[in-house]
Structure 1
Amino acid sequence: MNYWLMKSEPDDVSVDDALAAPKHTVPWTGVRNYQARNFMRDQMRVGDGVLFYHSSCPEPGIVGIAKVASTAYPDPTQFEKKSPYYDAASKPEEPRWSLVDVQVVEKTRNFTLPEMREDPELAEMLVLKKGNRLSITPVDPKHWRHIVKKLGAKAAA
């Protein structure tokens, strides 16, 4: 099993939006970075653990525990001309962008970015590295266990 941190802007899709969706599952649309796309396409597997992270908001941080709920498939927003994620160079017969479905299994308190930075056990987490702007990053199993324990998350114990 792999573990991931996946960032979402709560104005796009929040943890509450995911919990309100059928089966608490949402498609992770709009990823337009090749490395993040490759993580979804090449490395994510159904059942992998996900730290659901709110970004670009007043208090960024981990707000839920989720899991990968599908294998990668073409992101339909790349073909929708009115979508902010439209990509004119992407063709249905050769899609450029992929997504996975993500299922929230537990909402947690907000484990904020400043809290994460203050925790010496998380110092090596990719999301905390200077200059990291990826919306999806792998999470080391020791970091996953530490965060889950710190949040008292039941779903991922």
Structure 2
Amino acid sequence: MNHWLMKTEPDELGIDDFAHEPQRDFMWDGVRNYQARNFMRSMQPGDHVVLYHSSCKHIGTAGIVKVTRAAYADPEQFNPDSAYYDPKSSATEPRWDAVDLCFVDKFPRIIPLSELKTLSALADCALVRKGNRLSVMPLSANEYKAILATTNR
């Protein structure tokens, strides 16, 4: 199993949405960065994802979701009415992908970036490096365990 971190704005799709409907698979779409897209293409069903809330009052890791469907063509890239429409994408050569995710666990509290930066296991993690803007990134097994340890999981 691989581990990942995905950033989200909780008013769009946050850990509470997943927790409210724990049996539901949610489509994760709208990624428009090639490196983040390529990471998504490496995701497999069963992989765990740390959900990181950003652009909100309480920024930090919020819980765990898991991949239930590997990468497939993001349908919004074909919808001219969508903010994620890409006229350069075609059904035969889609540029962007989505994955499906479902709920695993909500942390008892949001673990803020300032606390994550103090963890020696995360010293090389892209999340804590200055200037990192990726919305999807891999986590090593040790990085994943270190994040879980902050929640007493």
Q: Distance in 1 between matches of 2:129 and 2:32?
A: 20
SS in 1 for 2:10: coil
2:4 corresponds in structure 1 to 4
C-alpha distance in structure 1 between counterparts of 2:81 and 2:11, whole Å: 18
Count of aligned residue pairs for this structure pair? 152
Task: Tell me the residue number matched to 1:75.
Answer: 74
The letter of the residue matching 1:57 is C
- Which structure features the higher share of strand residues? 2
Is 1:150–2:145 an aligned residue pair?
Answer: no
Structure 1 stretch displaced more, 132-141 or 74-83:
74-83
Once the two structures are superposed, the pairs formed by residues 1-157 of structure 1 within 5 Å of their partners are: 1-21=1-21, 23-41=23-41, 43-108=42-107, 109-153=109-153
Aligned equivalents of 1:40 and 1:59: distance in 2? 25
Segments of 5+ residues of structure 1 without an aligned counterpart are none
Q: 1:72: Cα distance to partner?
A: 0.8
Q: CA shift at 1:103, angstroms? A: 1.2
Using structure 2 for the length normalisation, give the TM-score.
0.92
Would you say the 8 A contact 2:22–2:104 is kept in 1?
no
The answer (yes or no) to whether the contact 2:65–2:105 under 8 Å persists in 1 is yes
The Cα of 1:118 is off from its aligned counterpart by: 2.5
Structure 1 runs of 4+ off > 4 angstroms? none
Q: 1:143 to 1:8 in 2, by over 3 A?
A: same
Deviation, 1:28, is: 0.7
SS of corresponding position for 1:101: strand
Distance 1:102 1:8 in 2: 13
List per-residue Cα deviations over 1:49-69 (Å, max 9, x = no partner): 110111111221110111111
Structure 1 vs Structure 2 CA RMSD: 1.4
| Percent of aligned positions that are identical | 47
Three-state SS of the structure 1 residue aligned to 2:44 is coil
What TM-score does the superposition give when structure 1 sets the normalisation length? Answer: 0.90
1:30-73, Cα deviation, whole Å (9 max, x unpaired): 000111111111x2111111101111112211101111111111
Query: Take 2:35 and 2:126, find their aligned partners in 1: how far apart are those partners?
Result: 13
Instruction: Note the residue ranges of structure 2 that are not aligned, 5 or more in a row.
Output: none
Query: Please, which moves more after superposition, 119-128 or 52-61?
Result: 119-128
Shift of 1:22: 6.3
